[in-house]
Structure 1
Amino acid sequence: MSIIVNLDVMMAKRKISSKDLAEKIDITNANLSILKNNKAKAVRFSTLNEICKALKCQPGDILEYVEED
């Protein structure tokens, strides 16, 4: 897929654990793991909004487009 999720990078920069972020944005650890490990097929804007609010970042800090060869 051409969209890369850099959530793990932002979490490391903000020094927040998966468990703490999942609690802050009210999703399960399993769903956060799917998103963090780039296995998600979609992400809700409401979830993205909560992630950005919790991590104090922009959507572009989390999502990246990489052209496929």
Structure 2
Amino acid sequence: MTELSGIHCRLDELLAERNMTLTALADAVGVSIVNLSILKNDRAKAIRFTTLIAICEALDCEVGELLVRAR
């Protein structure tokens, strides 16, 4: 679905680089696994800034490392 939004979420890659599971991230951020999975699979239509900040803090990354323009 990246063609529609033009945005690709690199959550899978960042989790792998940090040896972290989606479940562990969900616990750390306080967001359901289902919602993180939607984001991870580029199906999200929106994301709250508070959620985005929490994910970036948990993964120790910048927004630009998590969300990139799809090519």
Q: TM-score, normalized by length of structure 2?
A: 0.89
Number of aligned residue pairs:
67
Q: Which runs of 4+ in 1 moved over 2 A?
A: none
Q: Please give the root-mean-square deviation of Cα atoms over the aligned residues, in Å.
A: 0.9
Q: Which residue is 1:28 aligned to?
A: 32
Pairing 1:51–2:64 present: no
Match runs of 1:1-69 below 5 Å = 1-66=5-70
The C-alpha deviation readout for 1:28-68, integer Å capped at 9, x for no partner, is 1111110111110011110010001000000000000135x
Can you give the 5+ residue segments of structure 1 that lack an aligned partner in the other structure?
Answer: none
The C-alpha deviation readout for 1:5-43, integer Å capped at 9, x for no partner, is 111111111110010000000011111110111110011
Q: TM-score, normalized by length of structure 1?
A: 0.91
Taking only the aligned residue pairs, the percentage that are identical comes to 42
Distance 1:36 1:26 in 2: 16
Secondary structure in structure 1 of the residue aligned to 2:45: coil
